[in-house]
């Protein structure tokens, strides 16, 4: 397939895939596949999130991060490797770096209904009691984004010549995470390490990431010609990108593109930035062995076999959230 150098990420309408119109569905699959094969990102509307829910959750998140550090740290549990609750400032760094990102964040994870048996046990969620709406808003956003992610993975499966529901059993009740991020104001830039940034260049760990907006610019994606381009989306859109697990599974057919959040200009250093991505993970037992139909003479197998759980544990150590073994 010919490589396309996008100047901005393509915009898609998820209703084209879900409305029951065969022609629109085929066109959506092709557009999504081309975008994920070339730049790894798309902007999507009709994803299910309401403006009201988005505003509620962002308001809750801003209230939480405005709390004193002594209160926020009540919700940090070092034994959970950052998988639930609050994760304090300067705890995470990009793979291959030691300088911490300039952020703090809060994790909400999967809840499993009674009667569902999994091969793994997820830790319980932790919610701040100071903001009453945080829990219901976060859980509703989690569920909504998970449903949208399932639809997008169905489209990806069709593009890869797999059964449409190939990913369903792998991601339903998967180890997904909703992350509320606060890129805190930079009060004294002269005291920071010279290479410190809000989020250094990285690829996401998971299958796909669904980003429900951000409060300020700063997100950039590295195009194939090594040019950084800004990621912009309209208010009614979410940004969805391929993660390293899906790149690995597809033997680099779908691209987990490197991206970053740069520091703001000098006149905006003291302004915070908020962002809420949903990291869609499969169940830990899912095999990430390269799909046979993605291995060809021109594209030989690039990765050793592993599982989603083992890959996640490896990457958590690489980004500083767990100790390296």
Which tens digit of pLDDT belongs to each residue from 230-282?
Answer: 987 788 999 999 999 999 999 999 999 999 999 999 888 899 999 999 999 99
- Give the residues across from 249 on adjacent strands: none
Q: CB-side exposure of 126: number of CA atoms within 13 Å? A: 20
Buried b (16+ CB within 10 A) or exposed e, 219-256: bbbbbeeeeebebebeeebbbbbbbbbbbbbbbebbbb
pTM recorded for the entire structure: 0.95
Task: Kindly indicate the confidence band of residue 66, based on its pLDDT and cuts at 50, 70 and 90.
Answer: very high
pLDDT score at 323: 63
Q: Can you tell me the mean pLDDT for 300-305?
A: 97
Q: Can you tell me the mean pLDDT for 127-148?
A: 98
- In terms of Cβ atoms closer than 10 Å to its own Cβ (0-12, 13-18, 19+), residue 42 is buried
Q: What number does CATH give the domain 11-318?
A: 2.60.120.330
Residue spans per domain, the chain: 11-318
């Amino acid at each position: 397939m010919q490589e396309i150098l996008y100047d901005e990420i393509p915009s898609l309408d998820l209703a084209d895939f879900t409305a029951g119109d065969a022609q629109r569905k085929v066109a959506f699959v092709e557009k999504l596949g081309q975008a994920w094969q070339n730049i790894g990102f798309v902007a999507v509307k009709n994803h299910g999130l309401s403006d009201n829910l988005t505003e509620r959750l962002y308001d809750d998140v801003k209230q939480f991060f405005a709390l004193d550090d002594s209160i926020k740290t009540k919700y940090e549990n070092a034994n959970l490797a950052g998988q639930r609750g609050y994760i304090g400032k300067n705890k995470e760094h990009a793979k291959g770096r030691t300088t911490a990102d300039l952020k703090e964040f809060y994790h909400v994870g999967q809840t499993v209904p009674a009667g569902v048996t999994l091969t793994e046990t997820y830790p319980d969620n932790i919610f701040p009691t100071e903001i009453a709406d945080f829990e219901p808003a976060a859980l509703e956003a989690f569920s909504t984004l998970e449903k949208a992610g399932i639809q997008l993975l169905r489209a990806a499966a069709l593009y890869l010549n797999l059964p449409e529901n190939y990913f369903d059993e792998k991601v339903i009740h998967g180890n997904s995470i909703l992350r509320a991020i606060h890129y805190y104001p930079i009060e004294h830039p002269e005291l920071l390490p010279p290479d410190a940034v809000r989020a250094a260049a990285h690829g996401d760990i998971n299958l796909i990431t669904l980003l429900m907006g951000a409060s300020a610019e700063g997100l950039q994606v590295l195009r194939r010609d090594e040019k950084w381009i800004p990621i912009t989306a309209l208010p009614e859109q979410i940004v969805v990108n391929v993660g390293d697990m899906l790149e690995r599974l597809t033997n680099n057919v779908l691209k987990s593109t490197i991206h970053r959040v740069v520091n703001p200009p000098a006149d905006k250093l003291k302004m915070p930035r908020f962002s809420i991505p949903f990291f869609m993970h499969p169940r830990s037992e899912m095999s990430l062995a390269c799909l046979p139909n993605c291995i060809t003479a021109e594209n030989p197998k690039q990765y050793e076999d592993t599982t989603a759980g083992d890959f996640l544990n490896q990457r958590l150590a690489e980004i500083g959230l767990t100790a390296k073994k």
